[in-house]
Every structure is written in C-alpha cells, then in structure tokens.
Structure 1
Amino acid sequence: MKIILVCSAGMSTSMLVQRMRKAAEEKGVTATIDATSEADLVNHLDQTDVILVGPQVRYLAPKIKEKTAPLGIQVEVIDSMAYGMMDGGKVFAQAEGLMKNKQ
C-alpha cells in the first residue's frame, strides 16, 4: 500500500507520516507513507493507492481527485481532529478504509 499525504509545503505532515508508519508497523502492514506538496504530487503518483489531503489545504482535494480518478487513486481530506492530534493510528485507519473502498 502506498499512501501520500499532501499539504501546502509537504512539511507539516512529516510528524504525522512518522506516526502513521509506526501504526502500520504495529499492525504488521507493509506500507510506503510519504508527504509532499501539491506542486510536487505529480512526481509521486506512480503506484500510489491513497492520497490524504491535509485539512489546511482541503480546497485542493477536488482538483487532486479530478487528476487522479483515471488512475484509480482514492483521495480524501484527513480527519481534522486526527490531524490536529497527530494521531497516526487514526489517519492510517482512514487510509486503510479507503483501500477497502478501492477493492
């Protein structure tokens, strides 16, 4: 499973990425989880399953969905509460739920 988190500069999600990686590891799930800016997203679409958009840039979600729909990539805005609390487990669970929708 490949998950990309998108924020304005790709920086504010770095701590959340680490916590999501830990949550995946604890569940025994092999996942590649990275963060990027919206401008650099096009360079990260290969093999991507899920894109989670930071709440602060939720306005980008429709544009990202439009670009990625033909690729079968699931896109959703990260739960604001989970993002604010940097709850990697909850955000990882959100990504897993999107993967179930994909199949």
Structure 2
Amino acid sequence: MRILVVCAAGASSTFVAQRVRHAAHDRGLSYSAFAGTERSLPIDLDAADVVLVGPHLSHALERIEREAAPRGTTVVLLPHDIFQDLDGTRTLALVRDAVGGSGGLPPAAGTAPLP
C-alpha cells in the first residue's frame, strides 16, 4: 500500500510519513509512505492508494476528495492531535480503518479505538 501524507509545505507530512513507515515496517508490512504538499498533490496522487491530509488542510478536503475519486484513492483527514502519534501506530490504525477493516494490517495492539 502506498500512503501519501499531505500538508501545506511538506514539513509536518514528512514526520508523519516517516513515523507511519516505521510503524508498518515494525509490523512486517511492505507499505510505503511519502510526504507531499498541497501543490504537488495532482502529481503525487497517481502514486498513492491512500492520502492522509493534514488537519490544517481541512478547508481543501472536498477538493482533494474530488481529485482522488477518479483514481480510487482513499482520502483521510488526520485529527488535530496526530502529531502526538510519535510511533506512527495510531496513524497506521487510521489507514487500516479507512481501507475497510484490516487493510492487510494485523490488529493494532494497545491502540485505543478512535472516535
């Protein structure tokens, strides 16, 4: 699974992508996660199965969903506190939930259900 993390300038998305990549690796999953920006989104969408949108881009969510729909790409708006997910497991659980259940992921041990 290819996970694109989008933010305004690419800084915070880089941290989230790195953390989710490590969490997937720790679970033995061959997922890739990469960072992008709102400006690079039209190009980056072609390489993504799931797009995680930074909470500060909530104003652009509908447009991002419209751009992703023809590609069959799932779009998830990240919660405001996602940057506190230092090991990436919560973010990985959001991906799992977004793709309809396990999405090839084993259950997230010690992860509380998300609201």
Q: Which runs of 5+ in 1 are unaligned?
A: none
Q: Is the 8 A contact 2:3 2:52 kept in 1?
A: yes
Correspondence 1:99 to 2:95: no
Structure 1 residue 32, shift from structure 2 partner: 1.1
Equivalent pairs counted in the alignment come to 101
Q: Deviations over 1:23-67 (max 9, x none)?
A: 001111111101111110111122411001001111111100011
Alignment of structure 1 residues 62-101 onto 2, 5 Å: 62-81=62-81, 83-87=82-86, 88-100=88-100
The residue number in structure 2 matching 1:27 is 27
Larger gyration radius, structure 1 or structure 2: 2
**Corresponding letter in the other structure for 2:39:** A
Q: Which runs of 5+ in 2 are unaligned?
A: 104-115
**Corresponding letter in the other structure for 2:14:** S
TM-score (norm 2): 0.79
Structure 1 residue 17, shift from structure 2 partner: 1.4
- Cα distance in 2, alignment partners of residues 24 and 11 from structure 1: 20
Structure 1 ranges of 4+ moved more than 6 A? none
SS at match of 2:93: helix
TM-score (norm 1): 0.88
C-alpha RMSD of matched pairs (Å): 1.6
SS at match of 2:12: coil
Say which structure is richer in helix. 1
- Cα distance in 1, alignment partners of residues 43 and 26 from structure 2: 29
